[in-house]
């Protein structure tokens, strides 16, 4: 005995569903498990690795495909790939309570790991452990946002933790090379962006001023732009270390 399957039905297994309501109708796409968050964070760039099929459904579990007219009316296009991208970006990922809890726990630890990698205790210049950051995040009752990247959330956590503990982004160590004629004017402009100037010397032969300094990573782009624009490419910026961190055992 053969079983008749209607032509507008597609059966899929081991699927993660992303759902979106638009134009008063529900639309769903079928994705591979664990790939939706990778796509949203930018880690996965191949759409075929994320989507099980480029079809758009009204109900994935029943295999009911959306009508072309409904798609055009809701999305203004019948390009299935483009519609899938929209649903993937803005839709709601349907997961079981257990899966959601596991996902949130993983993201919580990933955020804590990023914070631990980026930050130090400003008094000792030593990094914090991941477990200590996790405890601090629990103390401020930080709740993970599943639709935001872990990097964005780590920066938000750093801002919040500053209110309850001694923590700061580890400084970058840079070497700035400035033409002597512009050095004085540039120093004034750079002053608010530099945390500590460790050394400065003058190269008479090249007529250049060299400065080694510590800066907040958030200021790097601004410093780089300032030197390039103000010196018309004659000045330069070199990263000596990404993190100024004390190594070895702590002295008592």
Which architecture characterizes domain 15-94 according to CATH?
A: 2-Layer Sandwich (3.30)
pLDDT at residue 182, rounded to an integer: 85
Sign of dihedral through CA atoms 72, 76, 78, 80? negative
Which architecture characterizes domain 97-169 according to CATH?
A: Orthogonal Bundle (1.10)
Average pLDDT taken over every residue of the chain: 87
CATH class, domain 172-241, is alpha beta
> Strand pairing partners for 1?
none
pLDDT digits over 11-58, tens only?
A: 665 688 999 999 899 999 999 877 888 888 788 899 999 999 999 999
pLDDT digits over 104-119, tens only?
A: 999 999 999 999 999 9
Contacts of 32 (CB under 8 A, 6+ apart): 14, 15, 16, 49, 50, 51, 52
Count other Cβ atoms within 10 Å, centred on residue 227: 22
| Strand ranges, E, within 56-207 | 57-59, 64-65, 92-94, 119-121, 126-127, 168-169, 172-179, 194-203
For the record, the structure tokens of 107 come out as: 């993201």
pLDDT category, 84, cuts 50, 70, 90?
very high
pLDDT at residue 208, rounded to an integer: 86
Question: What SS3 class is residue 46?
Answer: coil
Sign of dihedral through CA atoms 213, 191, 220, 133? positive
pLDDT at residue 131, rounded to an integer: 96
Whether the pLDDT of residue 7 is over 60: the answer is no
Per-domain residue ranges for the chain? 15-94, 97-169, 172-241
Angle, alpha carbons 137-142-143 (nearest 5°): 135
Q: What b/e sequence results for 105-125 when a residue is b if at least 16 CB atoms lie within 10 Å of its CB, and e otherwise?
A: eebbbbbbebbbebbbeeeee
- Check: CB of residue 59 under 8 Å from CB of residue 44: no
Within this chain, domains 97-169 and 172-241 share the same CATH topology: no
pLDDT at residue 246, rounded to an integer: 65
pLDDT at residue 9, rounded to an integer: 58
> Strand pairing partners for 22?
25
For the record, the structure tokens of 8 come out as: 């507008």
Count other Cβ atoms within 10 Å, centred on residue 62: 10
Average pLDDT over every residue of 142-166? 93
pLDDT category, 218, cuts 50, 70, 90?
confident
């Amino acid at each position: 005995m053969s079983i008749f399957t209607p032509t507008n039905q597609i059966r899929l297994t081991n699927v993660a569903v992303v759902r979106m309501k638009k134009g008063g109708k529900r639309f769903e796409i079928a994705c591979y498990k664990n790939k939706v968050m990778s796509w949203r964070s930018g880690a996965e760039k191949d759409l075929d690795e994320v989507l099980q099929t480029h079809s758009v459904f009204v109900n994935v579990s029943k295999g009911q495909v959306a009508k072309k007219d409904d798609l055009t009316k809701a999305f203004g296009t019948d390009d299935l790939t483009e519609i899938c991208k929209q649903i993937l970006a803005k839709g709601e990922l349907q997961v079981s309570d257990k899966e959601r809890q596991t996902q949130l726990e993983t993201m919580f630890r990933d955020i804590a790991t990023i914070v631990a990698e980026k930050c130090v205790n400003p008094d000792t210049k030593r990094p914090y452990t991941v477990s200590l950051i996790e405890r601090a995040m629990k103390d401020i009752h930080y709740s993970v946002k599943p639709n935001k990247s872990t990097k964005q959330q780590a920066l938000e956590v750093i801002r919040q933790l500053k209110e309850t503990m001694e923590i700061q982004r580890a400084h970058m160590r840079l070497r700035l090379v400035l033409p002597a004629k512009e050095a004085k004017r540039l120093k004034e402009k750079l002053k608010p962006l530099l945390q500590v100037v460790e050394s400065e010397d003058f190269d008479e032969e090249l007529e250049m001023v060299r400065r080694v300094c510590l800066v907040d990573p958030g200021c790097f782009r601004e410093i780089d732009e300032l030197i390039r624009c103000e010196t018309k490419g004659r000045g330069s910026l070199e990263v000596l270390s990404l993190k100024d961190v004390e190594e070895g055992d702590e002295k008592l």
